[in-house]
């Protein structure tokens, strides 16, 4: 943690009564911090609220009328929701790409900004859970999934593993961020005993969340498109492109909008991570495509449909080509020497990566797993308006969570809370 301008006291011992008094104060401050800001902040929040409300309304209609309001069918039984879910697990795992340099390689700049990645993990997991609930036919029976009260089909069902790792990851990050912020609020140096072990566990955990999510799909023998051992490694590499890409943009926004010091080291490190991971991803993509297309047969059917369509059915073609071209262009842009000094190029590359991976891990991965169906029937899928609304709403809710978390964290972290916090927003 940087020592900024505030002086921090070390190793103060408190009794429980102290915390009973000061923790509510901390929460009150947090509430104040996240409800006051500039007009830009209010405008941004109102915008997000409106989108979220549209999404909430669409979801309520979907629950009332049934999933018939979506475009999903018995042939393509997962759609935009699970696509977004998959991508967001990656985004959450991608945050760890800040944690590793900060804590394992002791990168100073990264250490100062790592909380931005950890908060992103919290917001993304929150979105993941919302997307899962949006996809349930019976959200009222959500409690059936809880251990003890419901029936938790552990360890056979991969979905129960996913429930464990996602919630575990969220708790880990909530603990780490909450502890650090509280200590900062008290003006004390955090005790490494209380958070460093959890940071290391969260590193391993981040890898587990995306691996388990990949296992959801690649364990299904009836779906040749997913049934590849390369799925989990590819999930990880794409996560480690998309996560840093998102964080680089966020860091720049924070730099512009707040007084938080964002060392150029953070962006440089993240950029070099992206440079590597995107190339690894492209290598894996190429080897996947080679295996599919050179061998042919039923394993290649879905990939052929995805990239080239099938007898006039080509709903996924635009998606996947946008994705492939974005990722390839981004990889080329990232090769520009000293790219971290050319922010415009870097930003373009980041947006391309984000969009490209969002499609690749979503519409380009979940949907073709169902086309053709297991009986080789060809039914296409184009998301319905309700699905777009719900998805947009969840993204808005997630961004709202992330904005508020940053809104609380940054002033406390930079030690300039209260009156001087004016104009701190994202």
Partner 1 sequence: MQKITKTGRIVVTIGLLIMAILLASVTISYMEGGIKEQEEGLETWEPGGEQHPVIVNRPGLMPMVDSGKKDHNGNAVLIRCNNCHDVKKPNTLTADATQLDDFHQNMTFKHHSLKCASCHNPEDYESLRLADGTSVAFSNVMQLCAQCHGPQYRDYKNGSHGGMTGYWDLTRGPRKRNNCVDCHDPHAPAYPKLMPVFPPKTRAGTKGDASTH
Partner 2 sequence: MSEEKKEPCGSNCGCHGSNAGKEGMFNRRNLLKGAGATLGVAAFAKAMAPLTEWKETTSVDEFLQTHYRELDKEQLAEVIARLEKETRENYDAEVSISDIKPQKGVKFGYALNLSICVGCRRCAKACHEENNHDRASGNSYIRVLEMSKGSMDMEHGNADYNHPVPRDDKFYMPVQCQQCENPPCVDVCPVEATWKENDGIVVVDYNWCIGCRYCEAACPYHARRFNWTKPEIPKEEINPEQGYLSNRIRPQGVMEKCTFCLHRTRKGKLPACLEACPTGARVFGNLLDPKSEIRTVLANKRVFVLKEELGTKPNFFYFFDE
- End-to-end Cα distance, the chain: 22
Instruction: Find the binder of partner 2 among 40, 197, 290, 377 (CB under 8 A).
Output: 377
Q: Which of residues 13-42 bind partner 2 (CB under 8 A)?
A: 14, 17-18, 21-22, 25, 29, 32, 35-36
* Contact window for partner 2 (CB under 8 A) among 51-59, 228-236, 326-334, 343-351: 51-59
Instruction: Find the binder of partner 2 among 48, 51, 72, 236 (CB under 8 A).
Output: 72
* 72 vs 384: CA distance, rounded Å: 9
Instruction: Find the binder of partner 2 among 48, 67, 93, 273 (CB under 8 A).
Output: 67
60 touches, from partner 1, partner 2, none (C-beta below 5 to 8 Å by class): partner 2
Instruction: Find the binder of partner 2 among 318, 335, 420, 423 (CB under 8 A).
Output: 420
* Whole-number Cα distances in Å, 204 to 43, 160, 191, 214, 242: 38, 18, 21, 16, 18
Cβ distance to partner 1 smaller for residue 1 or 279: 1
- 286 in contact with partner 2 (CB under 8 A): no
Fill in the DSSP letter of residue 64.
Answer: H
296 touches, from partner 2, partner 1, none (C-beta below 5 to 8 Å by class): none
φ, ψ at 152 (rounded to 5°): -110, 105
Binding mask 183-212 for partner 2 (x = CB under 8 A): --xxxx------------------------
298 touches, from partner 2, partner 1, none (C-beta below 5 to 8 Å by class): partner 2
* Contact window for partner 2 (CB under 8 A) among 98-106, 283-291, 332-340, 414-422: 414-422
420 touches, from partner 1, partner 2, none (C-beta below 5 to 8 Å by class): partner 2
Cβ neighbors of 179 (< 8 A, separation 6 or more) are 190, 194, 195
- 298 in contact with partner 2 (CB under 8 A): yes
* Whole-number Cα distances in Å, 129 to 82, 172, 283, 323, 398: 11, 16, 31, 25, 10
Positive or negative, the CA dihedral 133, 136, 141, 147 is: negative
Cβ neighbors of 190 (< 8 A, separation 6 or more) are 1, 179, 180, 183, 184
108 touches, from partner 2, partner 1, none (C-beta below 5 to 8 Å by class): none
What size, in residues, is the chain?
426
Fill in the DSSP letter of residue 227.
Answer: -
Closest separation between CB of residue 79 and partner 1, Å? 13
- 387 in contact with partner 2 (CB under 8 A): no
Peptide bond between residue 372 and the one before it cis (omega within 30 degrees of 0):
yes
- 56 in contact with partner 2 (CB under 8 A): yes
Q: Which of residues 82-141 bind partner 2 (CB under 8 A)?
A: 132, 135-141
Q: How far is CA 225 from the centre of its chain?
A: 24
Instruction: Find the binder of partner 2 among 160, 228, 259, 317 (CB under 8 A).
Output: 160
Residue 89's CB is within 10 A of a number of other CB atoms, namely 30
* Whole-number Cα distances in Å, 99 to 88, 108, 168, 277, 294: 18, 11, 17, 16, 40
Q: Which of residues 301-360 bind partner 2 (CB under 8 A)?
A: 301
């Amino acid at each position: 943690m940087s020592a900024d301008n505030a002086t921090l006291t070390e190793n103060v011992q408190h009794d429980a009564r102290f915390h009973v008094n000061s923790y509510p104060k901390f929460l009150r401050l947090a509430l104040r911090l996240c409800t006051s800001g500039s007009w830009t902040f209010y405008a941004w929040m109102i915008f997000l609220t409106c989108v979220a409300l549209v999404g909430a309304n669409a979801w309520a209609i979907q629950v009332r009328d049934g999933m018939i309001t979506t475009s999903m069918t018995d042939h393509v039984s997962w759609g935009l929701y699970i696509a977004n879910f998959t991508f967001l697990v990656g985004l959450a795992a991608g945050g760890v790409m800040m944690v590793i340099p900060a804590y394992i390689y002791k990168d100073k700049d990264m250490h100062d900004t790592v909380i931005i990645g950890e908060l992103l993990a919290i917001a993304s997991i929150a979105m993941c859970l919302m997307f899962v609930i949006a996809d349930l036919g019976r959200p009222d029976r959500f409690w059936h999934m809880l251990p003890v009260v419901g029936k938790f089909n552990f360890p056979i069902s991969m979905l129960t593993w996913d429930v464990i790792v996602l919630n575990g990851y969220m708790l880990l990050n909530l603990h780490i961020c909450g502890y650090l912020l509280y200590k900062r609020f008290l003006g004390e140096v955090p005790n490494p005993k209380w958070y460093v072990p959890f940071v290391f566990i969260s590193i391993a955990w981040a890898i587990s969340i995306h691996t388990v999510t990949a296992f959801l799909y690649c364990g299904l023998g009836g779906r040749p498109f997913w049934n590849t051992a390369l799925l989990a490694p590819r999930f990880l590499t794409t996560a480690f492109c998309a996560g840093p890409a998102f964080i680089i943009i966020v860091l720049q926004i924070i730099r512009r909008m707040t007084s938080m010091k964002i060392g150029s080291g953070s962006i440089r490190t993240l950029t070099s991570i992206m440079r590597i991971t995107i190339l690894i991803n492209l290598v894996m993509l190429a080897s996947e495509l080679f295996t599919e297309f050179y061998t042919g047969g039923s394993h290649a059917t879905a990939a052929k449909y995805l990239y080239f369509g099938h007898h006039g059915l080509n709903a996924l073609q635009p998606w996947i080509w946008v994705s492939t071209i974005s990722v390839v262009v981004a990889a080329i842009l990232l090769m520009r020497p000293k790219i971290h000094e050319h922010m415009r190029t870097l930003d373009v590359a980041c947006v391309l990566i984000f969009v490209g991976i969002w499609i690749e891990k979503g519409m380009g991965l979940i949907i073709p797993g169902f086309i053709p169906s297991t009986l080789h029937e060809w039914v296409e899928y184009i998301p319905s308006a309700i699905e777009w609304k719900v998805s947009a709403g969840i993204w808005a809710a997630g961004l709202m969570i992330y904005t508020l978390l940053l809104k609380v964290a940054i002033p406390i972290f930079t030690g300039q809370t209260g009156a001087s916090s004016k104009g701190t927003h994202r």
